[in-house]
Structure 1
């Protein structure tokens, strides 16, 4: 992927313009007043760690959160902000970034539009990564003991034929990793009825994501039991849909001989 950019660097602000479009990315230090002349998707950072992602309208930017830097993304007219911010939030959560808040978003990106907004999100991520901003944590390793790398899993044709059972956290189901980017959840799956709450009675990030995935498939669920086969995007989505996460789902999918999906696929 090649992207032509024009870059202007000032003391407290870096402006990155896409040469072929009207898109502009601004990276600004937190100051007393930040004025937006276009609606934007924003990313707040504190100590170079992403803490919040959202959208803001024209005018003076206001946030109750403490932040040191803000990245604003003003796309061209054909990119819908609601869907773009949803893509960035999903990307952050999948990379284990703990956001301070999750705004109310559209629950379903139209299939005809998803490819366009995903491609644009990937372009912006490439630009931000080039300038040193990543949608994942970069923590210094501990001197006494280094942190093990996150496990990777490989899909194979052999694995695609295996039915895995799930029996955990009030849910029971059968699932297959039948395609590289798809999990098939068979009809008759029992779902955890109520999401677990935080100590203060609020919904956690996993619970909110699980609810949104359930809303996308609500026409295939009755009384917390699935009435049709459902296609989900990943093992993590299966866990969020069935029992709002809270455990390593790679270890919860078990074949008829007691071998986990993790054991079958871990690299």
Structure 2
């Protein structure tokens, strides 16, 4: 099944438009302003990514507002009866073991003449929900293991501040000192990567955009992609973004005269 979507994501709202039917799925925070549901909309109440209730037109007062954090609404094409779609989605959820908070839904039978159309649309909606991480089935709790830190921690020391680290990667050459806890010094004469790498569609990736932004802040100290003065940045990652737009682990690229990386010098086990 191929589904073509238009997706717009902002800090407060996600909008997913189905190109084939012009239906719209909207995900909003569960604020008082958003509790009013249009009579033409189906709603799913979400606690994080878990679906806790399915209904239409009106959220019952019997549902505790503390039980959900987000509201998803779905508008449907003219040939999809909301009540029938609601029925099929609730059945799918319950048959898959999802324990839903009851809504005002009255159980009804989907007529044979509407079964094919409603079921096809329902399957599209389920596939979209699954793709975005909203499951109409009970998901098993993962086996809990001792969590490891997401990122390695590094500790600055006075000894490290005296070490000259060099970098030679991705068209970039530089001498760098970690001179203070939040100060990385790039010595004048560093060579920078000239053009940022692009995504497959020709657009700039996040790292490339960040690297360009940092370069703009220091453009007065760069000529022909060579630094003309010492430049101070805040972190090892910023050094990588500035010099070669990231894309590699800069903690492993900066090495001392013996080839020992800045990661080996500073990582906290």
- After TM superposition, the score normalised by the length of structure 2 is 0.48
- After TM superposition, the score normalised by the length of structure 1 is 0.49
Q: Which has the larger radius of gyration?
A: 2
